[in-house]
Amino acid sequence: MLSALTARRTFLTTAAAGLCAVTTAASSSQGPIRIGQIGVGHAHASKLSVYRNNPDYEVVGIVEPDEQLRRAAQTRDPYRDLNWMTREQLLNTPGLQAVLVETQVRDLLDQAAVCVAAGKHVHIDKPAGQSLSQFAAILQAAEQQKLLVQMGYMYRYNPGIVLLRQLLRDGCLGQIFEVHTVMSKVVDAADRVALSEFRGGMMFELGCHILDLVVGILGEPAAVTPYIRHSAPLSDNLNDNMLAVLQYAQATATVRTTALEVDGFRRRHLTVCGTAGTFHLQPLDNPAAVLTLAAAHGNFKAGTEDVSFPRYVRYVDDAADMARIIRGEKTTDFPYAHDLAVQRTLLQACGENPHRP
């Protein structure tokens, strides 16, 4: 009788905390937040267009010391007609409050450290480098100055994840004992070579996004067992088929990611099983959920039903949340300790020693 229990409903934005409409600059006596960006080498660097289109922000300049990257970026819409400058010029811009760090991954932490030392809030794209000690030092310096460090994990503000966090806070899924999550795609030959720079391969590149979710649900694991494979019939060194098993006192979690799955975006998912219910979100990028509850909760009845959401646009809610935090309207939902736990877990899932210098 599953079909009799299954209903379709639309989960409106106003029903989920954290998905409020973007605060407009006109509503704030403080005026727009002055922000800049360092780097265009990250795969997500073009998110700058979200900040350019948000009246809460004034994008004052962009930095890219690599001439080849800079020339290529200058003709693209996210960067067109911006003020290109040195890092020193950006950090000395009057009224600058925040910096987006969007360099190639190997340079993220070095640039973020300079920005925090200069007293700026930072958005650091993922993942947070390979040195846990360097990342910890950045977080400590930011905490001492009461600065925001926002990581660029792209599902934090997904409306399905926002609903899940509310369900977990309300306790209506009971004790969580099992989490499964998958994030995969097909990576072309040129990008495979670039990603093979890091031993963690696809776990380092994609798995970080969903590990952030697992740590948010269950906390930092007691142990992490990585399964590292190169499965493609190619001669590159990319570890392209990755699994990590996370162990907890009363739960386990599996995290899978590959560079090989055809139409992998469609099957990206997160499943959370508790003693009082199960939440399954799939796909992650255009979310839809199936919720099963042992007992009714709020607008959700006992049994199984489908939950739909508004179309999700990446980065819009990240930018909105950053503005509210900088203006003192709210505190961050992702404290320093969470980000450090995610990075420690990620390095273990990549087969790395998180305690190496």
Q: What is the pLDDT of residues 191-239, one digit of tens each?
A: 999 999 999 999 999 999 999 999 999 999 999 999 999 999 999 999 9
Domain of residue 224, residue span = 2-13+155-349
* Residue 26 belongs to some domain of the structure: no
φ, ψ (nearest 5 deg) of residue 151: -85, 150
* Residue 357 belongs to some domain of the structure: no
In this predicted structure, what is the pLDDT of residue 24? 35
The CA-based dihedral angle spanning residues 314, 318, 319, 321, taken in that order and rounded to the nearest 10 degrees: 150
Same domain, 107 and 237: no
The verdict on whether omega for the bond into residue 127 sits within 30 degrees of 0, i.e. cis, is: yes
* Residue 194 belongs to some domain of the structure: yes
Give me the CATH number covering residue 300: 3.30.360.10
* Residue 222 belongs to some domain of the structure: yes
Same domain, 134 and 80: yes
Sequence-distant (6+) residues with CB within 8 A of 153 are 126, 208, 209, 212, 213, 342
Give the span between the Cα atoms of 124 and 113, in whole angstroms: 10
- pTM metric for this prediction: 0.91
* Residue 355 belongs to some domain of the structure: no
Q: State the alpha helices, DSSP H only, in the chain.
A: 2-5, 48-52, 67-74, 87-91, 108-117, 132-145, 159-170, 189-195, 201-202, 208-218, 264-267, 316-326, 336-349
Short-list 215, 208, 252, CA closest to 352: 208
Same domain, 322 and 179: yes
Work out the mean pLDDT of the chain and round it to a whole number: 92
Sign of the C-alpha dihedral computed for residues 274, 178, 180 and 127 taken in this order: positive
Same domain, 118 and 132: yes
* Residue 21 belongs to some domain of the structure: no
φ, ψ (nearest 5 deg) of residue 217: -80, -45
Give me the CATH number covering residue 120: 3.40.50.720
pLDDT digits (tens, 9 = 90+) for 229-274: 999 999 999 999 999 999 999 999 999 999 999 999 999 999 999 9
Give the span between the Cα atoms of 256 and 207, in whole angstroms: 7
pLDDT band at 357 (very low <50, low <70, confident <90, very high): low
Same domain, 267 and 192: yes
Give the span between the Cα atoms of 161 and 350, in whole angstroms: 24
Same domain, 198 and 321: yes
HSE-CB of 10 using CA atoms within 13 angstroms: 5
The verdict on whether omega for the bond into residue 55 sits within 30 degrees of 0, i.e. cis, is: no
* Residue 25 belongs to some domain of the structure: no
In this predicted structure, what is the pLDDT of residue 354? 84
Same domain, 129 and 207: no
Same domain, 46 and 6: no
Laid out side by side, the sheet with 149-151 consists of 57-63, 33-38, 96-101, 121-124, 149-151
Domain boundary among 107, 129, 151: 151
**Mean pLDDT value of segment 170-184:** 99
φ, ψ (nearest 5 deg) of residue 167: -60, -40
Q: Is 340 exposed, middle or buried (0-12, 13-18, 19+ CB in 10 A)?
A: buried
pLDDT digits (tens, 9 = 90+) for 16-44: 333 333 333 333 457 999 999 999 999 99
Same domain, 283 and 302: yes
Domain boundary among 116, 135, 151: 151
Domain boundary among 151, 167, 183: 151
Same domain, 235 and 259: yes
Same domain, 53 and 171: no
Same domain, 61 and 131: yes
pLDDT digits (tens, 9 = 90+) for 142-176: 999 999 999 999 999 999 999 999 999 999 999 99
* Residue 243 belongs to some domain of the structure: yes
Domain count, the chain: 2
